[in-house]
Homo-oligomer: A and B are copies of this chain.
Amino acid sequence: MNIVPFESIAIKYKTIFFDAFGVLKNQSGLLPGIDKTFDFLKANGIDFYIITNDASRGPQELSASYQEKGLGQITKSKIISSGMLARNYLKLKVKSGTVAYLGTKESAHYIETLGLKTISIADLNLDNADDISALVVLDDEGFDWNHDLNKAVNLLRRRNIATIVANTDKYYPVEGKEVAIAAGGIANLLEDIVGKQIIRFGKPDAQMFIFAYEHSVKNGGTKDKNKILMVGDTLTTDILGGNKFGLDTVLVLTGNTLASQAEIRIQTKGIIPTYVSESAVIH
């Protein structure tokens, strides 16, 4: 496996799509030195977007979390989140009723900006659920799993409503080498128990990449897919999705894929990045 410095790769492209977790930041905060990468991009006239499987907050809050840490270049318009796709879906397909959700009050806020009424599963009375028009899994936090997952199961057995999840990740890293079950893992549980198809938004789905591509082109970015690079730490989401959309891809070893496993995983899964790089940090 040939490991190439990120700088030598990045310089060949006009636009770069970055995954967030495991690429720009980890559970301890921003990767040390990642600000230099953004200086490098600016100096070389390379545009960028952050493509993230995250529905727990809106793009405003997501960009604010970077800006607080000193990455002022990551403005709201640079963020493409799976939550934005879910919100678009609800805007187009749910015209009335109340949207039930699993997540925090804050995660529901971004949906409420559509003018839709929302209710946490925790607050829902199943005997009074005729008004519920959709169920959305927004976050793994903000509800009692013992009680509210069973309630969600029974809501879906009573009412044939669209169910969506805007995070295809099964788990996410927390402290040390530990992980926590993510919204995508919870959606898999619901689907397994209830047997109904959940609508999923997030990488590797092409919709994420097209959404980013169109944002980029609209803001003057290149239309030439051969000049766009996807940078990610996860083969099954970032790299598979980037490849399928026709982009060159680089796997970085700062997140889900450890250096010791990269080669065997690429071989086993048959998901082949264009490049492998230690890190997106440019020194």
Residues of A within 8 A of B (CB): 88-89, 91-93, 126, 144-146, 149-150, 153-154, 156-158, 160-163, 170-171, 177-181, 185, 188-189, 192-199, 201, 205-207, 210, 225-226, 236, 240, 243-247, 264, 266-272
Tell me if B163 and A179 are in contact (CB < 8 A): no
Tell me if B156 and A270 are in contact (CB < 8 A): yes
Tell me if B197 and A269 are in contact (CB < 8 A): yes
List the B side residues contacting A145 at CB < 8 Å: 144-146, 149
Tell me the complex Cα distance, A272–B243, Å: 31
The chain B residue with its CB closest to the CB of A170 is: B193
Tell me the complex Cα distance, A270–B165, Å: 14
Tell me if A181 and B149 are in contact (CB < 8 A): yes
List the B side residues contacting A154 at CB < 8 Å: 178-179
Tell me if B92 and A163 are in contact (CB < 8 A): no
Chain multiplicity (copies)? 4
Quote the shortest CB–CB distance from A100 to chain B (angstroms): 14
6 contacts across the A-B interface (CB closer than 8 A): A89-B244, A162-B243, A185-B189, A192-B192, A197-B240, A199-B240
Are A192 and B163 also in contact (CB < 8 A) when A92-B226, A92-B246, A153-B181 are? no
Quote the shortest CB–CB distance from A50 to chain B (angstroms): 20
List the B side residues contacting A89 at CB < 8 Å: 244, 246
Tell me the complex Cα distance, A179–B38, Å: 49
List the B side residues contacting A272 at CB < 8 Å: 160-162
